[in-house]
Amino acid sequence: MHLPTPVPAGYTGRSATLAGAALTRPALTLAEKLCARAAGAAVVRAGEIVTAAVDLAMIHDSGGPRRVGPMLAELGVGLWDPSKVVLISDHFVPAADAGSAAILDLTRKWAADNGVGAFHDMQGICHVVLPERGHLKPGMFVVGGDSHSTTGGAFGAFMIGIGATEMAGVLATGEIWVRVPPTIRLEWRGALGPGVVAKDMMLALCTRLGMDAGNYRAIEYAGPAIDAMTMDARMTLANMAAELGGKAGLIAPDETTVRWLAAHGTAPADGWRDWRTDDGADIEAAHVLDAGELSPQVAAPHSPANADDAGAFRSVRFDQAYIGACTGAKLTDLRMAAEVLRGRQVARGIRLLVAPASTRTTAAAAADGTLAALTEAGAILMPSGCGACAGYGAGVLADGEVCLSSTARNFKGRMGHPGSRVYLASPYTVAASAVAGEIADPREFLRETAA
Amino acid sequence: MSAAVTGRAWVFGDDVDTDALAPGQHMKDGIEALAAHCLESLDPDFAGRVAPGDIVVAGRNFGMGSSREQAAMALKELQVGAVVAESFARIFFRNAINLALPVLACREARTVAPGDRLRLDPPTGALVNETRGRTLACDPLPEHLLAMIADGGLLPHLKKRLKAAAA
Ligand code: SF4
């Protein structure tokens, strides 16, 4: 269905012709190129409001069918294109009570009734399952009913988080209005030292730049330290662009991206090399950072922007260590933990919960011995899903309890009782601290492992 | 858009997050039950004592965090008349407009004290602080968003468009 679009003030899109502009196209940012493609325009510039045709809409059990179903019914329309909808049950899985079970049941029925073929039920966290199952490609314009939808930007797709009513509008029409975001470029020079990872970069960025530095903006990560990163690590950066307030967290696709896509049964469309910011494009701000100077970071309650070197938190005690979430439980995250835990034991009085990001993550970690290293050290293995990350599932905290977590957010009460406290860190730091019995710098453990 | 909003100010600081507005532990409950916990981690009295038309006033980056629309729905459920903040996190801002909850950015939001009597005129962005006898200027919303609020939010707005398209 195509609807007449309300024309917002400042709307200028769709005037240029595609053929003419290819020759004379000005230098553009990656965000501008991605928005232009979705708007059917040759050129759009930051600040313009355009109507974008959505390539893919991702919804989950919490913000999805139970919210959008009644709204579509009220509108009296079905899905604009069921083949462009991916539904993932991850927030309330596995059902911990009858209320959660009812939500999951409703989700399954809605998928069947609406012909949604791409329904991944209890297979892991949406932001990890989406690319893992080959749904994401460079150049796409994607909306997700979840704030960490920025994760998709790791693949050079423009992926933004939206709320449920907005999603109902997209599901009905296939379109959404967006203001083309200005770009903030974060250029990471140098190389990360041992034991220092993407999560540390993000906690340091939140603290240095602030939680709203990227509001209404595209955050673009670039530079040699990014080029050297695995897709898992890039996903952590794009994921936590949300903690900088970013509309999107973008990384230009490269050979690493293409290899990853191939390993997951898909390939980018021709011309993927153009999904990058042109030299000389107008960017709002650029920050140059040195990856080599960074130490493992820990963010104190109740904000990811409360970070300092892990060493500054030495002797801070906690009750629960959590390795989970789309941010911190992908295969390479679990391997970091295993590297530290192999041949060691979780300290007495501490419970280490590990919830792998997806069922495929669990299978791969079982195959390469990672899981055994974790469980032999005393880790408690949890189902794949959002779990304790947002306080929806199992593993939540009691009043006064303290948790050290590989997740993205430590807002007051997020992981359970409002009187609980959460520190954030990388999987390396969470695992090392779980062994030490207090917050520790993981590099000391890695040195011992190497020796 | 709807008439002026009049009520008392409930004042909060910077970075009020969506876990505070709609706590995860109550997300599986209906909106009425969820709203009873709205902002309880910052002010346990808020949900019980806020009156229809009252205005939530805050600092920077109001509504940061999750995309959960219940963050804005809970305020609507409690009949909060508007939110005035120095700035808003982008998903919350869109969610609120989509639900026809007026959200206005105001550089001078910090001059408002808890309990001040306020009168807000959403179309012009004029915020009269009757207690302090001064008028603050909020950034007016763009036309297309005012139109959406006037229609009662995105859903009624879409309904109108669908009808127009069918006619
Ligand atoms: S794991 Fe946590 S951050 Fe990721 S989607 Fe689930 S609730 Fe959100």
ipTM: 0.95
Look at residues A278, A232, A287 and name the one whose alpha carbon lies nearest to residue A34. A278
Per-residue pLDDT for chain B (167 aa), expressed as one digit of tens each? 457 999 999 999 999 999 999 999 899 999 999 999 999 999 999 999 999 999 999 999 999 999 999 999 999 999 999 999 999 999 999 999 999 999 999 999 999 999 999 999 999 999 999 999 999 999 999 888 998 999 999 999 999 988 888 87
Q: What is the dihedral of CA A274, A279, A283, A288, to 10 degrees?
A: 110
Residue of A nearest to B153 (CA): A165
pLDDT attached to residue A25 = 87
Residues 316-375 of chain A with CB under 8 A from chain B are none
Atom of ligand 1 nearest to the CA of A324: 1
| pLDDT at residue A14, rounded to an integer | 40
pLDDT of residue A12: 40
**Which among A164, A216, A396 has CB closest to B90?**
A216
Burial A311-348 (b: 16+ CB within 10 A, else e): eebeebebbbbbbbbbbbbbbbbbbbbbbbbbebebbe
What integer pLDDT is reported at residue A451 of this predicted model? 62
* Per-residue pLDDT, B166: 83
Encoded tokens for A440: 């520790």
pTM of the model: 0.94
Q: Where are the alpha helices (DSSP H) in A248-324?
A: 255-263
- SS3 assignment, position B9: strand
Backbone angles phi, psi at B28, to 5 degrees: -85, -10
DSSP A155: G
Cα(A146) to ligand 1 centroid in Å equals: 8
> Which mean pLDDT values do the consecutive 10-residue runs of chain A (451 residues) have?
40 41 81 98 96 98 98 96 98 96 98 98 98 98 98 98 98 97 98 98 98 96 98 98 98 98 97 97 98 98 98 97 98 98 98 98 98 98 96 94 98 95 98 98 88 62
Q: Give distance in angstroms: CA of A9 to centre of ligand 1.
A: 35
Asked whether the beta carbons of B93 and B119 are under 8 A apart, the reply is: no
DSSP lists the bridge partners of residue A186 as: A221, A287
A416 near B CB under 8 A: yes
Q: Does B79 touch chain A (CB under 8 A)?
A: no
- What are the chain B neighbours of A172 within 8 Å (beta carbons)? 158, 162
CA nearest to A417 within chain B: B25
CB A221 within 8 A of CB A192: no
What confidence score (pLDDT) does residue B165 get? 85
Sequence-ordered list of residues with C-beta below 8 angstroms from that of A66, at least 6 positions apart, any chain: A103, A106, A107
Query: Distance, CA A390 to ligand 1 centroid (Å)?
Result: 6
CB-based contact, B153 to chain A, within 8 Å: yes
- Check residue A87 and give its pLDDT: 98
Q: How far is A293 from chain B (nearest CA, A)?
A: 29
Instruction: Count Cβ atoms below 10 Å from residue A278 Cβ, excluding itself.
Output: 15
CA dist A65 → A138, A205, A217, A398, A402 (Å): 27, 35, 29, 31, 34
